[in-house]
Structure 1
């Protein structure tokens, strides 16, 4: 029996004054853990070591032993302090959530970064709510301890929670490429809440010098009011996306009288180097008609816009972009005129792309990962769950300060 208990003490990493009192293997493995009689224990924040007043039994879920669920039944002491109060003293391998060891919580965190809560719950034989509670606890601890003093460039975007108009807004640190803030809604208040979050994490709104957003009036207003020193960038991909939408609108309208345009949607919207030979041939035939065909002219305007925004000299981009807008406004391609008006309305932010090269591509990729996770989970019911999942996927949170077995 001595060899058996010593084996489990070594496997569990238990050291004096703790020791394994007994082991019971039935439908599950139960390991009784006790401490040496007469032991005195330190209490955080109170100098010295203190005598045991009484004890309570705590049952902790641990890593599986082969195919068996494993539990530790620990006799936890409560010590009497000099002021007469009584406090429990928990061993350093006890988890942050009642009922688990640190090793078990680290396993759940690792699995939940790659799998849905429901899948992990089935794998570890635990309820969905308990798995989520572990992740919630660690995400809250890690986010509360995050230092944002080095953040100077951010990207802000929204993603849908559920069908309809229910959204959450994400803020990412562009240099570290990680999500640092998640909040409900997609209005100017989301930016205000981020500014307040900065002040709670060793930072100030004034240190944000660059922000990449879409052309949402709410986000623009929020940045102007709450991140006053930030230079706004509207990335090239949002602008070109508007031009592509206008191009498709021209094609849809024209194909009502020109059946030859049917089936050409992807030939027009895809990059030319991604087209097959047949698609490329059809596109070249269409472009050759640019003097008489509005869809062809819309395609050329879109490609010219892409080429302008690829340049890096801000004065060249500014001059060419104004000329492009002027040419489009004189044309008869009505949907593309809306793009020109939008560019003129947000001109400084679009031209800023030439220097900052800040893009929302990273945060939009996160949105894609989140939507995929949400579909696998058949949806998430609460904002709290969505926030936890987003931080697990893209927060690059460091849990090692709270659990040496988790990274």
Structure 2
């Protein structure tokens, strides 16, 4: 019995292929897949039909490598020789000549279904659902053993750690894969999730073809939950990308599109607090100016001693209001600062949602208390104003009364006046110099 080394067997197979009259110069017809002009200058692709595929290569030294212009889905006839790559004991077609034979069957079905679905409105932007910016829970429908699920989960936890992740394992390649994905979408659609991510990692066109299944596309379209399609790499476009509510170039990109950045959320909270603070300060300044305005008006409404007394009261009210506002603002600031420190220390998950809600309640309470306090002070101010108006002598003169002066002194009784005395009557718009010709005192 003769025993051969692996190298010897590989050499024997290579020599046998070179001597074979068919395999050394053969024409093969099939569909182009995974076409790639490498940076080295070599051209790599696959030739396939419904049941098999073969790897193909064109060396950069051949003129065909510079002129060939193919794309995935093209149906071609290739002439070349079957060779082996001894390093891995695989065989391939070394292409020497290429003729186009039309569009590949698989790709043609893809184009026909795409045209049909577009005509029926499956791609319309008006039917697409918006993606929640701050999700509570995200569903991931993919293979639990692939790299895609790890990329998605790692990205979500890094960007938005308070979000729950629910994973549904499904088959993403092969005859039963489309039905497996359909069952996953239907199951997840009943879980009241915010967003679904459906997809897988990269592969050939035929590997990703499960996401071109018409029944799967209709399931995506009819889903109540917004769906992000994340199939393959950036250059892969499956029909699920057009039907879904949003297309992501990769599974990692899908996780980024489905979540907000946690640092951006912290910045939003800080900006919200600053905005509330600015509004309250501006309102306080406006009310303070209004109080000062009314204070100045009171100087013209009555005797100085009454005005001074009420102005002192107004100043006390203003100081009290100012002190209360400052204390309220400081208390709320300390409370929010404490919350912010807790957030940074805990690296929260669900706590952040609670603190956001608490912040909104605090903001509403502050605004409500401020408005109530201001309304109360305005009522007091109006009361003082009315009292001063009643006490103002000018108001009495407006009603037809007159002020009597003798020798520039006010008099209120006939006992202070003699016949032939000169007196002055002060009225609302002037004065009268009069001579007393007769006086009569009323019986009490």
The TM-score bracket by the shorter chain reads under 0.3
* TM-score, length basis structure 1: 0.26
Which has the greater radius of gyration?
2
